[in-house]
Structures are given as structure tokens and as C-alpha cells.
Amino acid sequence: MAALLVRQRDVLGISASSIVGRGGPTKPTCLAYEAGRIPVRINDETLDKIDVGYSLDPGTARAILEPDTSFLADLETIVRNHLEAGERAIQRLSETSENGEGKERADDWLRANAILQMLLDSRRHQTEHRETPAATSLPGVSLVKGNKQD
């Protein structure tokens, strides 16, 4: 987001102060966002002001900071099905093992499934708390807690 705002202001050939005059957020907000200091939550009015002030298509700022996470429900179903199938396979391995190899493979499977479950739980937590993984992993962008109002 920061790089987009800096580039867009350069393309427009205007100062941060001019963004305000174009209907954008305050100068301190512009400079903070351009420096990568972006709050985790931004109110709708500020998102709209970013689009207007930087001459972005309506909804651009929101789309960057609040990406569509609807695919996570499908991902959760896929992982759950995998975990359930794994548990059934582990049960069969444990029951049919004669030399302990099945038990060892079952333990490996359990460890792998535990890791998948932790990833799934982490992704669910991020979604519930509206922490956007895409934004938190962008180079040069640091998310700060708080809900700064313009």
C-alpha cells in the first residue's frame, strides 16, 4: 500500500498537502501511510479519502488492505477432510502394523496433522481479528495497532 501511494503521488506530481485539497486524508496520515505506518484497522471514510485524494479507482485502498478471504472457508474444508482421512489412515496403520513401522508412520502423520491444524487455527484467528496476512507480509509495510481517526 505504501509503495502504491508514493508512486501514485509521484505520477500525479503533487505534494502530500495537495492530497488533502483533492479530498484525501490529512497530510500526517498521508505521510504516515506512505512511510508504511498503516493501522491494522482504517475507518471507511479514510479508505474512501485515500481513493479520492490519490485518484485511485473507488475501493482500491479497501481491496489492498482488506483482501477477500472467502477462499479460507474452502481451505478449511479441504484441511479438515485431509485431517479426517489422515486419522482414519493412522488408525488402520496402527491396527495392522506387525513390526512397529506402522506406529512410526502414524506418529509422523500425527505430527504433520498437528502442524496443519496450527496453521488452520492461525489463519482462522487472523480472519476473525481482521489481520490481513497479505498486508502483514508486504516488504516495507509495518502495521501499527490502533484506529487513528482523521
Binning pLDDT at 50, 70 and 90, where does residue 145 land?
A: very low
Q: Which three cell numbers stand for residue 59?
A: 475501493
What is the residue type of 121? D
Q: In the block, which residue shows the cell 500425527?
A: 110
Q: Which residues have a Cβ under 8 Å from the Cβ of 110 and sit 6 or more positions away? A: 90
Sequence ranges of the domains in the chain: 2-67+132-144, 71-128
How far is CA 93 from each of CA 80, 85, 87, 101, rounded to the nearest angstrom?
20, 12, 10, 9
The pLDDT of residue 80 is 75
- The CATH superfamily of 2-67+132-144 is lambda repressor-like DNA-binding domains (1.10.260.40)
Residue 137 scores a pLDDT above 70: no
Amino acid letter, 65 = L
Average pLDDT over residues 44-53: 94
